[in-house]
Amino acid sequence: MKYPGIFSALFGVCLQLISTTITAAEHDDLPYLLSLYENLHRNPEISFQEEKTAQRLAAEFADAGFNVTSKVGGYGVVAILKNGNGPTVMLRTDMDALPVKEQTGKPYASSATTVDEKGNTVPVMHACGHDIHMTTAVGTARWLSAHRDQWQGTVMIIAQPAEERGAGSRAMLADGLFTRFPRPDYNLALHVAADLPAGTVAYTRGYAMANVDSVDILVKGIGGHGAYPHLAKDPVVLAARIISDLQTLVSRELSPLDPGVITVGSIHGGTKRNVIPDSVKLELTVRSYSDEVRKQLLDGITRIANAEARSYGLPDNLLPEITYSDYYTPAVYNTPELTDQMLPVLRKALGKNAVLEVLPVMGGEDFARYGRQEPLIPSHMFKLGSVAPDIVEQAKTSGSSLPSLHSAFFAPEPKQSIRTGIKAMTAMVSALLPVPDRDRK
């Protein structure tokens, strides 16, 4: 994946600007931001329901001097601060929480519930750190507004809905994000890491997170009595054959150098032990990095499911029904040139030992869509350590596991995480925007 060569010599000049002025350790806003974080954490909203969260962020950005537009692609918020001529840098934060019952025991723990799209009453928790993301975005907005004498250009901060559903970025783009508002020259984002100590950040060049596809397969058959299987076409046996063969797509059809995952996470079929059902439903998640591997896996799923059904003697009208979800999430690709230019920036702002390199993962993030808009936009998402350092050390010593993202027990260390996130993000934005020409009349 290649990007247009828009990086210029201004980077070296901008790097000189990064100094101890970008320090949130003594940031006067930190008590306010911690209060904001606790409020966001107590009042989470799931995907497509982020109304009050969006209202709070819109007010925060407006108070910081940004021009704010709400209800972009649903509850999306776009905040613009134009400060003279120069590039446009976009920062993305996400807003939605998860249907998880919090068990952290924190004094500001969520006890919220809501009614989901299926009509079920569910608990709600910021179990993926989006409250840290939002607070960091607000802190960054406040710092950039207060230090307009140190940069020129345009900063665009977007608060995106429905990241957990892989739908928010697509909705905002479809609502004119890059036509109604300035098209960015650079896209930046961060995501908390549940396995890295607070005070650190981590980067990955190139592919960092995966394409994510959801696939449903309705395996059909001919039902009957469990005692007379020869009079039926058992879809349970056929489903088992399909599941087994699907694994060979990764193990025997992909190059060993091309990662891929096919997981059948759900199987539903039958009502009684002695009744052969008419159908079995399989639910799959499919992960890859490149578009070519993605296509190979999806095409292979269709080929194998149909071939197994035909080999089982089923007619064409009983071939499996295969549905690919609209909520496809493309792979996060960190532009290597941008990543390499940001490394000295982060090391200067945080210290060399606080900037780590990590391997890519097969998780998904719809931040990727913004960089894939033609012509491609240089983009970078870095990881923000969020676990208290002593807890990380205890886990290493004991060999125990830390609570993962989406866990009911995931509890970031907010003060150091937010402080580090603001230092990192303000440093990166400042490095991408030119220093004002103070001699200009």
- Quote the pLDDT of residue 26: 44
Q: What CATH superfamily classification does 10-209+331-432 receive? A: Zn peptidases (3.40.630.10)
- Report the C-alpha gap between 362 and 259 in whole angstroms: 9
Q: pTM score > 0.75 for this model?
A: yes
- Quote the pLDDT of residue 330: 96
Closest alpha carbon to 331 in 375, 276, 384, 293: 293
Which pLDDT band holds residue 5 (cuts at 50, 70, 90)?
A: very low
- Report the C-alpha gap between 326 and 216 in whole angstroms: 12
Residue extents of the structural domains in the chain:
10-209+331-432, 211-324
Active site residue 316: no
- Report the C-alpha gap between 363 and 367 in whole angstroms: 12
Residues in a beta bridge with 222: 233
- Report the C-alpha gap between 75 and 68 in whole angstroms: 13
Q: How far is CA 113 from each of CA 21, 72, 76, 410, rounded to the nearest angstrom? A: 42, 25, 22, 18
Catalytic residue among 50, 102, 131, 164: 164
- Quote the pLDDT of residue 140: 98
Using the structure block, give the residue that is written with the tokens 């060399």.
Answer: 352
Which distant-in-sequence residues (6+ apart) come within 8 Å of 16 by Cβ?
435
- Report the C-alpha gap between 96 and 112 in whole angstroms: 13
Determine phi and psi for 191, rounding to 5 degrees: -145, 135
Active site residue 164: yes
- Quote the pLDDT of residue 13: 46
Taking all residues of the chain, what is their mean pLDDT, rounded to a whole number?
A: 94
Do 10-209+331-432 and 211-324 show the same overall fold? no
Which pLDDT band holds residue 327 (cuts at 50, 70, 90)?
A: confident
Catalytic residue among 50, 60, 94, 234: 94
Which pLDDT band holds residue 2 (cuts at 50, 70, 90)?
A: very low
Would you say domain 211-324 falls under CATH 3.90.245.10? no
Using the structure block, give the residue that is written with the tokens 């140190």.
Answer: 150
Mean pLDDT in residue range 232-257: 97
Tens of pLDDT along 55-106? 999 999 999 999 999 999 999 999 999 999 999 999 999 999 999 999 999 9
- Quote the pLDDT of residue 22: 53
- Report the C-alpha gap between 17 and 148 in whole angstroms: 13
